[in-house]
Structure formats: structure tokens, C-alpha cells
Chains A and B, each alone.
Chain A
Amino acid sequence: MTALDTASTTSDVTTEAPRRRRSFSRERQRSIPLTILLWICVLYFVLPIWWLFVSSTKDNSSLFATFGLWFGGGFSLWDNLETLFTVRDGIFLRWMVNTLVYSVSAAVGATLLATMAGYAFAKYNFPGKKLLFSATLGAVMIPLTALALPTYLIFSQAGLTDTPWAVIIPSLVSPFGVYLMRVYAADAIDDSLVEAARVDGAGEFRIFAQVGLRLLGPGLVTVFLFSLVATWNNYFLPLIMLNSSDLYPITVGLAQLQSAASAGGGSQALFSTVITGSFVSILPLVVAFLFLQRYWQSGLASGGVKG
């Protein structure tokens, strides 16, 4: 298997680059009008986040008194952070940890299930394959929120509501992940490698673990990130499943803080806490995306084209 190992460690991210076409004719003609137009458009996407950052450096009175898109009235980011992390005995940190735990375990599980299923669809022939795959594709179209209600009733009969499982288990199903992994595995894993491993006497599971998983790297990251974001951003499911605020993820927690702030009327001290909390809550995902972008892009490239 040594030959296999070296062949498989050359990752797909690097093979993406040489395939790049069009170096042949257009030699980097840059267009100034297009550049200006695009950067103006970028403002639309960035300014709200900029506003969020600027506002999290203001205390409540300057929040209302100064211009929203620029700093003013002193720099109280640290005070805001201190309030944020100490309000209600530091429940904000707890929410962050909950979100992290829910979304990472759901994403790991969903990726594993989707990878195994996608690999089986791509690399094996068996009776019922077409039917099972059609069922999976059809399920992409079922709205998950329409399922949340009956799922809630089933979970409450099983006594699982208001536990982390109620958020994690429903998030394990990722039909789109199976679809992506099938398309990706069909491309990335050469049948001759699988055959060669079989001739070497490797069992099917060993082939999957040692040949398959290695070659599926970028696809894995793509599916992982999609499930991670889906669970991280989910609001409906945890909202109906969870009662105790100790178990809330950040989305439900922030919504609760916000409605307390709006209902409070006079006690507007909470607004700057909500804003600072919103800003802090988006940092982890933004950072994760920046670092992992080259992986998910090559993973998506194969999934998007072959519809």
C-alpha cells in the first residue's frame, strides 16, 4: 500500500491550479470601471458589519447620539465586552460554548454519514441504488422547518426535548451532503486504486478509511462547513426544542436578549450588549471561512457543475 499512500497524499487542492485555463490569451487585462463598480457593491455587503463593529465600541448614550458609521463618544468596546460576558452570570459564554458543541458535533456526524453514503453511491453497484439515491435527492426539497414541528412532538414523547440531543440529532441528516459527496467521490477516487487495494487483500472498510477518506479531503471540508453553518445559524429548531436558557445556542440567546432590550423600554442598557454580542458571535465563523476557503471552493467546484 505504500505506492497508494504517496499517490493519495497529493491533495486535490493543488491539482485544481494547473487545470486553470485561459492563461493562453488574456494576459491580466484589468478593467478600472469594473473594479470601481465591484468595490462600490462590496460596500453594501461590508458596511452593515462595519456598523456592527463600530457600534460595539460605543456606550448606550453615544449609540443614540453619534453617527452610526464612525466612532464617537469614547471607546467602550472593553466595557461592553465585560458587560457582555458578565451579564446573567456569564451566560453569553455558555451560549457560545453550546453553539460550538452543537454545531461541531452535528457537522462531524453529518459529514461522516454523508461521506459513507456518498462513497457507497459512487463506488458500488447494488440493487435499490437508484431508488435510494432518488429518495435522497427528493429529500433535499423537504423544508426542514416543516419537519421541526412533528419532530418536536416525537422528541417530547421520547423525553428528549430540552436536551442537546434535540438539536444535534435532527441536524445529522444532510441529503445535499450525500449528493455532493457522491459527485465528489466519483471524481476523486480512481476505481483502479480501489481495485488495486482489493487485489492487495484489503477489506472494503479499510479501503474506505485508508484510500477513500484521504482522497476526499476537500469534499469533506465542504460538507463539514455547510453542516456547521447550517447548525450554527439555526434558530427555529433550538427555539422550539429548548426551554432552559442554559442550553440555548447563541442565536436563541441573542434573540432573547434583544426582546428583553426592546421590551425593557427605559432600560436601554441592554442594546449595546446585544450589539456587542452580535458582533462577537459572528467572529468564529468568519475566521473559519477565511482559513478554510481554498478547501470548500475546490469541493464545491465539482458539486456545482454536474447537476
Chain B
Amino acid sequence: MTHSPALSDERAPQPSGERHVNSAIRKQRLAAYLFLLPFFVVFVAMLVVPLAYAGYLSLFESKLIGGEVFAGFANYGRALTDPAFLGGLGRVALFFIVQVPIMLGLALFFALALDTARAHGSKAIRMLIYMPYAVPAVVATLMWGYLYGPDFGPIAQIARAVGFGTPDFLSPGSILGSMMNIVTWEFVGYNMIIMYAALRSIPAEMYEAAEIDGAGQFRLAWSVKIPAIRPAILLTVIFSIIGSFQLFAEPSLLNTIAPDAISNSFTPNYYAYNLAFINQELNYAAAIAFLLGIVIAVVSYVVQLGEERRERREMRMS
């Protein structure tokens, strides 16, 4: 996600000599800062300050006697040995490892298939796959909760009619899989659109050589299209890391229909919410939120670094 700075305003209007040019540049710089100002005011107030505040809060402990006491890294020590936090973290890591490849694989397949324009009604297919993205996670979870339901859920109805018995999607053993399905349903279309948009803007020249070679669709996809949209794929991976590590709406809503399967620490985010608003352990919750942010940043960074290394290796090879 790097972008070479646009070389634009090197040449200011020249007519009346050095001093005029300098003042023109100064004027333009001032304008640039003024354009940036509103965004960065909100940026600092809503991102930097809360982040710093969470870091600050996480260093304190609230005692029954004496109130807030400086505790150093005690909250972090507690979190790193807290089976509830580590269990939740493990669960979202598993979620990331299993669900994200499936979701992005499907998205890539649909994007490539639609890009060939070989299916009847490609446009309608694209819209219909994308549609779940417009459904809020809350509604998607409610809906799938009903669909999974053992009584009037259509999946159970069909399974019973075929003679498979009633599948239990909401048991402790299967709830993570059921949640993966909900998230996949919601976001395949969104990721597909990002990849599809990237595919549509591959310049024609890149195809011509392959066309002359008589490469088939699969060769073309593998050796021209996928490499060309790698930055877009990386973007979807980064978004998916963030999305899966901070799962909240899905577990918190499934909790109402399957309280046995969803503990109050099912995902780290849900745990932090319960700690802060039910247990009133604000300082500990801040430490959890901060740690979760660090984990997400580290994982995203490692993924990006791996991609950059690979790019460099390939450049050397070619």
C-alpha cells in the first residue's frame, strides 16, 4: 500500500521572478495544510487520543480502597495468563486461518469467472453475490440464527425431510463454523467487488502477449490476472485480518439464541465489552483492547512484509 508521491506542483507560474514563485509556493503549501486540517483534527481526536488514553488507562488498577492505583504492566501480565483472553484470541486466530482463505478464495474465483464475461447474466450474478454486503451484521446474524434454528429453520426442515435428522448448528462444537458461514456469506461479495474492480482495470497490453501465445483461461488467470491484482488481494487480506480479529456483533447476537455455546469471552472484543460494561473492570478491558490492537497491527504488518519480500524476490528473479 505504498504510492509514489504525485510530482505535481514543481512548476508554479513563472512570470515575475524568484520572489513571486516563492510566495506562490508558500500559498500553495498553506492551502494544502488547510485542506488537511479538518481531517487531521478529527483523526487526532478520534484515533490518536483514544489510543493513547487506552494505553494510559491500561497501566492502572482500580482498588476498592484507594481508587485508581498505578500498576505498571500488571494488567498485561494478567491478560497474557488469562485463559479467557487467550482462548478468545485462539478462537479468532482459528477463524482467520480457516475462514479467510475460504472467503477470499471464493471471492477470487467469482471475480475471475465474472471477468471472463462467459456466464449468462454476469451483471445480475455480480449484483446478487454483492447484495449481502448491504445487510448489516446484526441482521445477517439474526437471519442465520433463524435459518440454523432446529424448529422452523429451513435447513433443519430439509434435513429432516431427507432423513438426516436435525443438525445442530448452535452447539458449542459447531458454533464457530456456523459463525464462519455467516461472515463468509456477508463478505464474499465485498471482497469480490474489490478484486473485480482491479481486474477490470488491467491494461489491454498485458493480455496481448498471452493472447498471441494462445494461453487458455486458466493460464491467463494464473499468470497474468492474479499477479496483476496482487495489491488488491493484499488489501482484502488486511481488511479480513482486522475483521476477524475484532468480531463482535456475531458472537454477541448468537449469545441470545445459544447462550451455552457462546461464553462471555468468545472473542477478545466481546470479552473486552463484557469486562468494561458488565464487570466494570475498565482498566483491564483497556489493556485487552490495546493488546488486541497490537496483535492486529503485528499480524497485518507481518503479512505485508511477507508480500513485499516476495515481490522483491520475484523482481530479482526476472
Closest to B203 in A: A21
CB pair B53–A154 under 8 Å, yes or no, is yes
- Complex CA gap A135/B125 in Å reads 38
Q: Is B164 an interface residue (CB 8 A)?
A: no
CB pair B47–A142 under 8 Å, yes or no, is yes
- Residues of B near A151 (CB, < 8 A) are 46, 50
- Complex CA gap A293/B124 in Å reads 12
- Residues of A near B269 (CB, < 8 A) are 143, 145-146, 236
Given A116-B35, A232-B136, A48 contacting B144 (CB threshold 8 A): yes
- Complex CA gap A119/B273 in Å reads 37
- Residues of B near A307 (CB, < 8 A) are 1-2, 230-232, 234-235
Q: Is A281 an interface residue (CB 8 A)?
A: yes
Given A68-B152, A130-B5, A30 contacting B35 (CB threshold 8 A): no
Q: Is B193 an interface residue (CB 8 A)?
A: yes
Q: Is A25 an interface residue (CB 8 A)?
A: yes
Q: Is B305 an interface residue (CB 8 A)?
A: no
For the residues of A in contact with B, the DSSP-based class is helix
CB pair B197–A21 under 8 Å, yes or no, is no
- Complex CA gap A130/B13 in Å reads 25
A55 to chain B, nearest CB (A): 7
Partner of B248, one of A41, A141, A145, A172: A145
As a 0/1 sequence over residues 42 to 77 of chain A, the CB contacts with chain B under 8 angstroms (1 = contact) are 101110110110010000000111011100000000
Partner of B38, one of A67, A116, A125, A236: A116
Q: Is A87 an interface residue (CB 8 A)?
A: no
CB pair A30–B120 under 8 Å, yes or no, is yes
Given A143-B292, A145-B246, A304 contacting B232 (CB threshold 8 A): yes
Q: Is A3 an interface residue (CB 8 A)?
A: no
CB pair B152–A149 under 8 Å, yes or no, is no
As a 0/1 sequence over residues 173 to 207 of chain A, the CB contacts with chain B under 8 angstroms (1 = contact) are 10100110011001000010011001100001100
- Complex CA gap A44/B144 in Å reads 12
For the residues of B in contact with A, the DSSP-based class is helix
Give residues of chain B (140-178) contacting chain A, Cβ–Cβ below 8 Å. 140, 142-144, 146-147, 151-154, 157
Given A150-B57, A258-B253, A304 contacting B293 (CB threshold 8 A): no
A305 to chain B, nearest CB (A): 5
Partner of B231, one of A229, A235, A305: A305
- Complex CA gap A38/B127 in Å reads 12
Closest to A236 in B: B248
Q: Is B102 an interface residue (CB 8 A)?
A: no
Partner of B198, one of A112, A169, A170, A304: A304
As a 0/1 sequence over residues 127 to 139 of chain B, the CB contacts with chain A under 8 angstroms (1 = contact) are 1111111111111
CB pair A67–B9 under 8 Å, yes or no, is no
Q: Is B309 an interface residue (CB 8 A)?
A: no
A99 to chain B, nearest CB (A): 9
CB pair B232–A258 under 8 Å, yes or no, is no
Partner of B6, one of A20, A44, A135, A186: A186
Partner of A45, one of B128, B245, B277, B293: B128
Q: Is B282 an interface residue (CB 8 A)?
A: yes
CB pair B132–A45 under 8 Å, yes or no, is yes
- Complex CA gap A30/B47 in Å reads 50
Give residues of chain B (238-258) contacting chain A, Cβ–Cβ below 8 Å. 238, 242, 245-246, 248-249, 252-253, 256-257
CB pair A31–B51 under 8 Å, yes or no, is no
> Which 9 A/B pairs are nearest by Cβ-Cβ distance?
A307-B231, A68-B154, A21-B204, A204-B31, A124-B32, A120-B35, A304-B198, A150-B50, A233-B136
| Extra pairs beyond A147-B47, A173-B46, A305-B201 (15, CB < 8 Å) | A41-B110, A48-B147, A113-B38, A113-B42, A123-B8, A124-B29, A126-B32, A143-B293, A146-B272, A147-B293, A149-B272, A232-B136, A282-B136, A290-B127, A304-B197
User: Footprint of B on A, CB under 8 Å?
Assistant: 20-22, 24-25, 28-31, 34-35, 38-39, 41-42, 44-46, 48-49, 51-52, 55, 63-65, 67-69, 112-114, 116-117, 119-127, 129-130, 132-133, 135-137, 139-147, 149-151, 153-154, 169-170, 172-173, 175, 178-179, 182-183, 186, 191, 194-195, 198-199, 204-205, 208, 229, 232-233, 235-236, 240, 250-252, 254-255, 258-259, 262-263, 274-275, 278, 281-282, 285-286, 288-290, 293, 297, 300-307
User: Footprint of A on B, CB under 8 Å?
Assistant: 1-3, 5-13, 27-29, 31-33, 35-36, 38-40, 42-43, 45-47, 49-51, 53-54, 57, 110, 113-114, 116-121, 125, 127-140, 142-144, 146-147, 151-154, 157, 185, 188-189, 193-195, 197-198, 200-204, 207, 211, 228-232, 234-235, 238, 242, 245-246, 248-249, 252-253, 256-257, 269, 272-273, 276-277, 282, 285-286, 289-290, 292-293, 296-297, 300-301
Give 12 A-B contacts (CB < 8 Å), ordered by A residue: A24-B204, A45-B189, A68-B154, A140-B238, A147-B50, A172-B42, A173-B43, A173-B46, A182-B3, A208-B35, A301-B197, A305-B232
